[in-house]
Structure 1
Amino acid sequence: MTNISYTPATELLARFRAGTLDPVAVLDSLIETAQAQQATVNSAASLQLVQARAMALEARRRYADGTARPLEGVPVIVKEETAVKGWPRPLASLVFKDRVARENHPIIDKLLDAGAIPYFQSTNPEFCVLGHTWSKMYGVTRNPWALDYSCGGSSGGSGAALAAGVAPLATGSDMAGSIRLPSSLCGVYGFKPPFGRLACAAGDEYLVQAVEGPMTRTFDDLVLMQNVLAGPHPSSFTTLPYTPLPTSYGDLKGMRIAYSPAFGNPTLADDIHRNLMRALDGLRRAGAVVEEVELDWDLAEINAVLLDGLRAVFVDEFMRDIADADADQLCGYADAIRVQGKGGPASLIPSAVLGRQLHRDMHDKVWGKGYQAFICASMLTTDLPADQNPVAEPTIESRGHQYEANLGWCLTPPFNLLNRYPVLAAPTGLSDHGVPTGMQIVANAFDDETVFRVAANHAKAGSSALFVEQFPPVYQQAQAAVA
């Protein structure tokens, strides 16, 4: 069982069906990994083991009597923000330390109905408003590839737990890059669906910048999980009908792909650019015509407008529940947003206006020119400390460049304004200091299958050897100890 930590869900399912693996033994092995990583990576908000072990026994019975479901017996990581009835849900805040979820998020219902076993609750930053993952409640979650560095956020606990080998599937959520940033920094795959593809939680129907989505170590597992999560749910009136994604894809012959490494930003790190170019060469070998286009987007403006829109539809309203007397319990980055909300009402209108302008630019230079997909990096630098504090340290310096510490290093926010665009984050390799790098694969509104087709060919090209030939040091050390 020593290698089970990095076995894909697709393989687990095949071996469960063949009777060569037992769901109970797999869960027990992963629990050991989950407990061991906590001393270094610290990606667990809680472990929910009693119910999980009962579900593993049920999975064993179902395989024996031929009633196994699509994800029967597969352990799953659940982001703390994603509600599971009866599980703690404080949103990493001491202010809400006693809160417990009263009902499941729709995607949890879908996972349970498919036979998956949610058991590992992963960390997120307080109120999910930071691109790293640390809080007063949970401490610092670190990157398994390089412990001093950030695992990203706000789904950083899910990304780190995947990289640490505690389960093959994880949930994430994304309102400014919170799936794509940790997916890229942890070397895994993540999908930000277009709004309406997955059922949202009740009350989030107008929070269109934000969506839930799957995170996995392998491309095939991403398809598997997305096909389970997507589509209507009885509690949602915004979800579109869903046709499952194919499980196999042809090459890219005849496809034209546009790329802009960083929307014209000159501070893109050389190692991220190098890995991106290698990935694009892999797509060319698969038959695609890949050409650079010029996009000159003002990232600072995009970030400011997106954050103002999030304040208007979510953040300010949420922060009103926090009394001034409780402010000392907040992390500095959360309190800064709370204080900002007292300065006056925010508006969603600039987000709508800027989103329309960005789409017109994409149409003029990409979709209207016959390109079917667009690719860019996920961030400008990976030189990000795990405990980076944008309030105390408002500027990040790396290799002669300076970045605004909150979102100034991120290339993800444009596609939260363009929130009907599907965006898939895929790993591209390791940076010079051992942290994974990633790229975003983008398609026009609701064209999910195109981003999966491109990602399938990227995976086949082998441009990234992460979790194939290269594994995080925490795993290598564990294997050495076993040997």
Structure 2
Amino acid sequence: MNDNTYLSASELLTRFRAGSLDPADYLETLLATAKRQQATVNCAAGIFADEARERARESGRRWREGRARALEGVPVIIKEETAVKGWPRPLASLVFKDKVAAENHPIVDKLLEAGAIPYFQATNPEFCVLGHTWSKLYGVTGNPWSLAHSCGGSSGGSGAALAAGVAPLATGSDMAGSIRIPSSLCGVYGYKPPFGRLACTPTDEYFAQAVEGPMARSFDDLVLMQNVLAGPHPNSYTTLPFTPLPTEYGDLQGMRIAYSPALGHAALAPDVQRNLLRALEGLRGRGAVVEEVDIRWDLEQINKVLLDGLRAIFVDEFMNDIPDADADKLCSYVRHLRDQAKDAPVSIMPSALLAQQLHREMQAKVWGRGYAAFICATLVSTQLPADQDPVAQAMLELDGQPVEAYLGWCLTPAFNLLNRYPVLAAPTGLSDIGVPTGMQIVANAYDDETVFRVAANHARAGSSRLFVDQFPPAC
């Protein structure tokens, strides 16, 4: 590992500005890292070195001429699902292995306009419908902290690449936890913004459960990236106006924060709970009043209703477009969804009704009682194999409890139903097997600044040492 491999974007900008590091030279360091990790972690869907080198040389000129932009010269990881014009975009599927993106996703435009250098395309599961990252096209992506264990999904390649030192920033997307799951398992920060905060692609305007968002190794970098990505784009008519987030935050003196360790889930692992409680103590040390509230949701029902809603909006129609002749090319988990699409039709209405019910409970127990934020774990366990197949093994046993294998170990889906809530995923430390754990920081609708304020204080409290003095052994 080069001494500069794990520099943050903020540190890079400082060094570029001072002239002590050149963007083109730094890119070569990361290209070597990207090549090296592929033999172990396997998180690259593609590496686009030539165009990145050209952009890095241009960034160097801009720095020397005093024309640098907000992310000038900072290399960025792009989730394969996130379209970059001219890059392959097969959605990890052999069925679409020859597809190429015709235009940039709006957030890619924003990154390029800010001077960032997309160069590394990160793996995701086929059609982004799994909480792990493996497919027939790309194989299994491992977790840099423990290669045999899951890096999460569907933005698992982005999380793994951040942890492997491939770049300091990454894009992700989240329709059932796909930013927050890999953020937790890879030990990085991730943000699921409220719907409308970031521009979506045309035709995705009604897909409110799913949003794009930033991922980064450090809190300060997450703020930096979110401020670049947020706000209107010419191709999107649903994006809200955006006031940039502060880059400096005061303490939490007097802020009331509610928590429920696992939303009533019976299988919360002791090491996940230990790290969560330590993080909460860190927030108390920053002045917050942190109190447990009784939130016990039917998580199995939430998962089913969310998935049915996703099927109604997107999945069933998409699966029915795949010819029968191509069915054998699909991964087991996609074939399973395709089979479901042939069954009885599903509706989006239960999602809307359940979201309203969940919000009313949050209003009664959290927001209406004066709490500014709510915290829970992201996952109940880290004991998840990298190649776990929920079709071959429908149930898992976690901490002595039977758990449904597809989403039963996640505490994320409720906040995709509550899709106007901002949710920030923050690392809390390492589990007993050396895989990171994480927590979700939640605020009421469109109150982005509160989750960032809480996360800033969590970072300053230092209860997690990941990427400070603890680094993945696989790298």
Q: For residue 320 of structure 1, what is the aligned residue in structure 2?
A: 320
* Cα separation, 2, equivalents of 1:234 and 1:196: 14
Which position in structure 1 is the counterpart of 2:132?
132
1:57-456 mapped onto 2 (5 Å cutoff): 57-456=57-456
Q: Deviations over 1:247-267 (max 9, x none)?
A: 000000010000000111221
Q: TM-score when scaled to structure 2?
A: 0.99
C-alpha displacement at 1:399, in angstroms? 3.2
Contact 1:272-1:437 at 8 Å conserved across structures: yes
Write the letter of the residue equivalent to 2:426. A
Amino acid aligned to 1:445:
A
Q: Aligned equivalents of 2:410 and 2:90: distance in 1?
A: 26
Which amino acid letter does the alignment assign opposite residue 259 of structure 1?
A: Y
Q: Deviations over 1:84-103 (max 9, x none)?
A: 00000000000000000000
- 1:474 Cα offset (Å): 1.9
The code of the aligned residue for 1:331 comes to: C
Contact 2:79 2:124 survives alignment (8 Å): yes
Secondary structure, aligned partner of 1:212: strand
State the 1:321 CA deviation: 1.6
- 1:330-385, CA deviations, whole angstroms, 9 ceiling, x for partnerless residues? 00000100110111321000000000000000000000000000000001111000
For residue 261 of structure 1, what is the amino acid of its counterpart?
P
Distance in structure 1 (CA, Å) of the matches to 2:266 and 2:202: 41
- Amino acid aligned to 2:214: P
1:22 paired with 2:39, answer no
Deviations 1:396-444 (A, max 9, x none): 1233222110000000000000000000000000000000000000000
Match of 1:473, SS state, is coil
Aligned residues: 475
Q: What SS is found at the alignment partner of 2:327? A: helix
> Aligned equivalents of 1:172 and 1:241: distance in 2?
21
Taking structure 1 as the reference length, the TM-score comes to: 0.98
**Separation of aligned partners in 2, 1:328 and 1:5:** 41
SS at 2:474 equivalent: helix
Corresponding residue SS for 1:6: coil
Distance of 1:416 and 1:211 partners within structure 2? 9
1:122-153 deviation per Cα after TM superposition (whole angstroms, max 9, x unaligned): 00000000000000000000000001100000
Residue segments in structure 2 that go unaligned for 5+ positions in a row: none
Q: Distance in 1 between matches of 2:251 and 2:310?
A: 39
CA contact (8 A) 2:155 2:173 kept: yes
Whole-Å separation in 2 of the counterparts to 1:75 and 1:270: 37
Q: Conserved in 2, the CA contact under 8 Å of 1:4 and 1:30?
A: no
Return the alpha-carbon distance in structure 2 between the equivalents of residues 250 and 266 of structure 1: 36
Contact 2:267 2:398 in 1 (8 A): no
Tell me, what secondary structure is at the counterpart of 2:294? coil
Counterpart residue number, 1:35 = 35
Q: Give the Cα–Cα distance (whole angstroms) in 2 for the partners of residues 235 and 153 of structure 1.
A: 27
Question: Post-superposition, which runs of at least 4 consecutive aligned residues in structure 1 deviate over 2 A?
Answer: none
Question: Tell me, what secondary structure is at the counterpart of 2:185?
Answer: helix
Quote the residue 1:8 is aligned against: 8
The residue type equivalent to 1:242 in the other structure is F
Native 8 Å contact 2:145 2:472 kept in 1: yes
**What is the CA distance between 1:107 and its match in structure 2?**
0.1
> In the alignment, residue 290 of structure 1 is paired with which amino acid?
V
Shift, 1:81, TM fit: 0.1
In structure 1, runs of 5+ residues without a counterpart are 476-483
Measure, in 2, the Cα distance between the counterparts of 1:419 and 1:317.
22
Cα RMSD (Å): 0.7
Aligned-pair CA distance for 1:5: 1.4
Q: Deviations over 1:182-212 (max 9, x none)?
A: 0000000000000000000111000000000
How far apart are the structure 1 equivalents of 2:264 and 2:131?
22
- In the TM superposition, residue 223 of structure 1 has moved relative to its aligned partner by 0.1
Query: C-alpha displacement at 1:317, in angstroms?
Result: 1.3
**CA deviation after TM superposition for structure 1 residue 281, in Å:** 0.1
Quick check: 1:6–1:165 contact (8 Å CA) kept in 2? yes
Partner deviation per Cα, 1:49-108 (whole Å, 9 max, x = no partner): 111000000001101111111000000000000000000000000000000000000000
